[in-house]
C-alpha cells in the first residue's frame, strides 16, 4: 500500500491519495477520476493511469493528456516509481510513499478524514454534565502547571476523564527536523501492548493544522484479537491553536462494531470536546507567551510603540533598517572613582546604580524612545525607529531635560539614594541602522552608526565644558524653531573639533526653561551667545566681557574663559574659530 502526496508550486497540499496494491487509478481533473486534481489547470481531465503493485507504481500517460509528465527532470510516457520517487505535471509534484507498519496499528486504513469544524458545531453531547464537570478543572490544570511536563501529565489525565471512549492519550509534536515526537502518553488499561501513536496521522494533522481522523478497523469483526486486545481501531490528532503549530493532542480508542452509528456519533462528540480543550489551552498558552514577550519588550519600548506592534506583536516593524534617528547617551559622572571608594559595599552601589538607570530609562520610555543598551552605568536611548515622527528630536531633548530634573531633585534630598549622583548627557541626530537582534522569545534592540559615536563624544565633552546636556547643531535648530521656551532653551557654546574626528561641530547646551532654572535668565543666554560669536570671530576681549555677565553658579563660561586667559585675551594669529580637542574627553 502506498500514499501519493500532492505539492503545488512547492507547497504541500492537504490532499493525499491512498493507493492499494493490485489496483489501478486515473489521475486528472475529471469528476470521475479516481485521483482528482482540480487545483492545477495544466493537468488534463484524464492525464495519467497509475497501476499499483507490491513494489511500486507504474505511470502511463493517457491519450487525453495535453502536457508532459516528468520524472527526474526527463519527460516520460511510461515509467515505474518506487517509494520516495516523484513525478511532475504542470505546477504540481506527486511524491510516492509506502505505508509501513509504523504508520498505523493495523496497516489497513479505511478512512482518513480532515474534520470540518462547522459540522462539529452541530454535534450534541449525550453526557454534557460529565464533560462540564471535567472542564471546570481545566483552569486549575493550566494554572497549577508550573512547567511544560506538568501540563502534559495533567492534560492527559483530564482527557482520559473527559473522553470516556479513549483508551490512550498522548501529547505530541514536531521535532526540529519536523519529525513527529511524543512528549507524554497515558493508557486507560494495561493491556501489555504499548500505545504507538501513528507517525502518519501526527504528520498529517500538524501539516494541515486541523483535526485529522484515522479509522483502521471499520471492517474488522467484533471477535478480532486485534480489536479486542490492542483496542485501537481509530485515532485522531488535534493541534493546539496559536502555538506555532508544534503541539497536538492524540486520542485513540476502540470502535463499537455492535452499534457503529452510535459509535460514530460519540466519536464526533469526543473530537468536538478535544478541540474545545485544545482551543482553550492554546489560547491561554498564547496569552502567556505574549505576556512574556511584552514584558521583555516593555524595557525597550514605550506604550505607544507596543500598541503599534499590536496584540499579535507584529515584529516585522522591528526588522533592522536604515533611518534617521536621534540618539541620547546618558552616563553617571565619577562612577569609577565612587566604585573605588565603595569597594567594600559594591552590592549597595549596584542597587543605587540600578535606581539611576531606572530613572534614565523611565524618562526615555515616557517620551516615546527606545532603550537600546546599557554599558555599566550608562544608558542609550534613541528615537525615530521603529516609528518615525517629526517630534522625535524634540522628544529626545524632553527626555534629557526630565532626566536632569529628576537627578536635581535627588541632589536636593539628603535622604535620596541618588543624592550624590550627577549625570551627563549627549544627544545627536543622524543616519543609522536600527533594529532588533535575537529570537522570537527574546528581543534585543540596538542602533549602529556614526551618530551613536557622536552622542557618546558629546556626553564626554560635557565634563570639560562644565554643562549637563550637550546637543549637536541640528537639534539646536530644532529647539529654536519648534520647542516652546517654557519647555527648554539652548545656548551655543563653541565650535569644536573633537579628538579623532575630521569635521568641526557647533555644539550647544540644552538648558531648562527659565521658570525651572531662574538663576540663568533668557538675557544671560543671549549675552553668552554674543560672547561665543565674538570668541569665534577672534574678538576675545569682547567675548570676555559678555561671558563674565553670567551668574557665578554657571560654569559654562569656565572653558572659554580659560582659553582666553591663556592667550591674554587675544586670539592666536592663525585662529579659525575652531577649538581643537587635544585628547578624547573622558
Statement to judge: residues 473 and 519 lie in one domain? no
Grid cell 509534536 is found at 173
Statement to judge: residues 145 and 262 lie in one domain? yes
DSSP annotation of 521: -
Q: Where are the beta strands (DSSP E) in 109-266?
A: 111-114, 166-174, 180-187, 212-215, 234-239, 247-253
Statement to judge: residues 156 and 175 lie in one domain? yes
Statement to judge: residues 470 and 504 lie in one domain? no
**Residue 297 counted as domain residue:** no
Statement to judge: residues 7 and 51 lie in one domain? yes
**Residue 415 counted as domain residue:** yes
Pairing of strands 505-512, 488-497: antiparallel
pLDDT in tens, the chain (586 residues): 677 888 888 787 766 677 777 788 899 998 888 888 888 999 999 999 999 887 889 999 999 899 999 998 889 999 999 888 899 999 999 988 875 434 444 444 445 555 555 554 555 556 566 677 767 777 677 666 666 777 788 888 888 888 878 888 988 887 666 666 788 888 876 555 567 778 778 888 888 788 888 877 544 433 333 333 344 678 899 888 654 557 889 998 876 656 666 667 788 888 888 888 887 777 776 666 666 666 656 656 656 566 656 655 556 677 888 999 999 999 987 555 555 555 565 566 667 777 888 889 889 988 988 887 766 678 899 999 888 889 999 999 999 999 999 999 988 888 888 888 889 999 999 999 988 765 555 556 788 899 999 999 999 999 999 999 999 999 999 999 999 999 999 999 999 988 778 889 999 999 999 999 999 999 999 999 999 999 999 999 999 999 999 998 899 999 999 999 998 999 999 999 999 887 655 5
Whether pTM > 0.85 for this model: the answer is no
112, 204 in Cβ contact below 8 A?
Answer: yes
Residue 432 and residue 327: Cα distance in Å, rounded? 10
Statement to judge: residues 18 and 84 lie in one domain? yes
**Residue 205 counted as domain residue:** yes
Statement to judge: residues 557 and 530 lie in one domain? yes
479, 510 in Cβ contact below 8 A?
Answer: yes
How many domains are contained in the chain? 4
- CATH classification at residue 190: 3.30.450.40
Statement to judge: residues 192 and 281 lie in one domain? yes
Final residue before a domain boundary, out of 449, 483, 517: 483
**Residue 256 counted as domain residue:** yes
**Residue 111 counted as domain residue:** yes
Statement to judge: residues 438 and 498 lie in one domain? no
- CATH classification at residue 476: 3.30.70.1230
**Residue 296 counted as domain residue:** no
Pairing of strands 488-497, 469-471: unpaired
What's the grid cell of residue 34? 479516481
- CATH classification at residue 48: 2.60.200.20
Final residue before a domain boundary, out of 75, 98, 121: 98
Final residue before a domain boundary, out of 241, 263, 291: 291
Statement to judge: residues 542 and 511 lie in one domain? yes
Range(s) of the domain holding residue 55: 2-98
**Residue 545 counted as domain residue:** yes
Statement to judge: residues 142 and 17 lie in one domain? no
Helix, strand, or coil (residue 496) = strand
Statement to judge: residues 508 and 521 lie in one domain? yes
**Residue 299 counted as domain residue:** no
Amino acid at each position: 500500500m502506498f500514499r501519493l502526496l500532492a505539492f503545488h508550486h512547492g507547497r504541500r497540499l492537504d490532499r493525499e491519495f491512498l493507493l492499494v496494491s493490485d489496483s489501478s487509478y486515473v489521475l486528472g481533473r475529471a469528476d470521475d477520476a479516481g485521483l482528482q486534481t482540480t487545483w492545477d489547470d495544466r493537468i488534463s481531465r484524464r492525464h495519467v493511469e497509475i497501476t499499483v503493485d507490491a513494489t511500486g507504481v507504474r505511470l502511463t500517460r493517457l491519450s487525453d493528456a495535453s502536457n508532459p509528465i516528468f520524472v527526474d527532470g526527463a519527460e516520460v510516457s511510461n515509467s515505474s516509481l518506487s517509494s520516495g520517487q516523484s513525478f511532475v505535471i504542470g505546477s504540481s509534484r506527486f511524491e510516492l510513499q509506502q505505508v509501513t507498519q509504523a504508520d498505523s496499528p493495523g496497516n489497513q486504513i479505511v478512512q482518513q478524514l480532515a474534520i470540518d469544524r462547522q459540522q462539529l458545531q452541530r454535534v450534541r453531547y449525550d453526557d454534557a454534565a460529565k464533560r462540564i464537570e471535567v472542564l471546570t478543572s481545566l483552569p486549575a490544570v493550566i494554572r497549577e502547571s508550573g512547567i511544560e511536563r506538568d501540563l502534559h501529565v495533567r492534560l492527559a489525565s483530564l482527557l482520559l476523564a473527559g473522553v470516556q471512549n479513549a483508551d490512550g492519550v498522548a501529547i505530541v509534536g514536531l521535532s526540529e527536523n519536523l519529525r513527529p515526537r511524543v512528549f507524554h502518553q497515558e493508557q486507560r488499561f494495561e493491556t501489555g501492548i504499548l500505545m504507538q501513536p501513528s507517525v502518519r496521522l501526527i504528520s498529517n494533522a500538524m501539516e494541515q493544522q486541523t483535526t485529522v481522523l484515522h479509522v483502521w478497523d471499520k471492517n474488522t469483526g467484533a471477535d478480532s484479537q486485534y480489536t479486542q486486545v490492542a483496542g485501537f481501531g481509530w485515532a485522531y490528532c488535534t493541534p493546539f491553536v496559536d502555538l506555532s503549530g508544534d503541539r497536538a493532542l492524540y486520542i485513540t480508542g476502540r470502535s463499537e462494531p455492535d452499534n457503529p452509528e452510535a459509535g460514530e456519533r460519540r466519536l464526533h462528540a469526543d473530537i468536538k470536546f478535544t478541540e474545545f480543550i485544545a482551543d482553550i489551552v492554546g489560547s491561554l498558552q498564547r496569552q502567556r507567551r505574549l505576556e512574556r514577550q511584552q514584558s521583555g519588550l516593555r524595557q525597550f519600548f514605550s506604550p505607544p510603540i507596543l500598541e503599534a506592534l499590536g496584540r499579535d506583536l507584529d515584529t516585522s516593524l522591528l526588522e533592522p533598517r536604515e533611518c534617521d534617528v536621534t540618539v541620547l547617551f546618558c552616563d553617571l559622572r565619577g562612577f569609577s572613582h565612587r566604585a573605588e571608594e565603595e569597594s567594600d559595599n559594591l552590592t549597595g552601589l549596584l542597587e543605587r546604580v540600578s535606581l539611576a538607570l531606572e530613572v534614565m530609562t523611565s524618562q526615555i520610555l515616557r517620551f516615546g524612545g527606545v532603550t537600546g543598551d546599557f554599558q555599566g552605568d550608562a544608558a542609550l536611548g534613541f528615537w525615530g525607529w521603529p516609528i518615525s515622527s517629526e517630534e522625535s528630536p524634540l522628544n529626545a531633548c524632553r527626555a534629557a531635560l526630565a532626566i536632569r530634573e529628576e537627578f536635581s531633585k535627588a541632589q536636593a534630598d539628603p535622604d535620596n539614594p541618588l543624592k550624590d549622583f550627577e549625570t551627563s548627557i549627549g544627544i545627536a541626530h543622524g543616519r543609522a541602522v536600527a533594529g532588533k537582534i535575537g529570537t522570537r522569545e527574546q528581543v534585543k534592540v540596538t542602533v549602529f552608526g556614526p551618530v551613536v559615536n557622536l552622542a557618546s563624544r558629546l556626553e564626554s565633552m560635557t565634563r570639560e565644558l562644565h554643562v549637563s546636556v550637550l546637543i549637536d547643531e541640528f537639534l539646536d535648530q530644532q529647539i529654536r524653531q519648534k520647542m516652546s521656551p517654557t519647555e527648554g532653551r539652548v545656548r551655543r557654546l563653541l565650535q569644536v573639533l573633537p579628538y579623532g574626528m575630521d569635521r568641526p561641530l557647533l555644539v550647544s547646551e540644552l538648558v531648562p526653561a527659565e521658570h525651572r532654572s531662574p538663576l540663568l535668565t533668557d538675557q544671560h543666554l543671549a549675552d553668552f551667545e554674543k560672547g561665543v560669536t565674538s570668541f569665534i570671530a577672534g574678538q576675545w576681549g569682547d567675548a570676555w566681557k559678555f561671558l563674565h555677565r553670567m551668574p557665578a553658579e554657571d560654569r559654562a563660561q569656565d572653558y572659554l574663559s580659560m582659553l582666553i586667559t591663556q592667550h591674554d585675551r587675544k586670539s592666536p594669529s592663525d585662529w579659525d574659530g575652531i577649538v581643537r580637542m587635544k585628547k578624547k574627553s573622558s
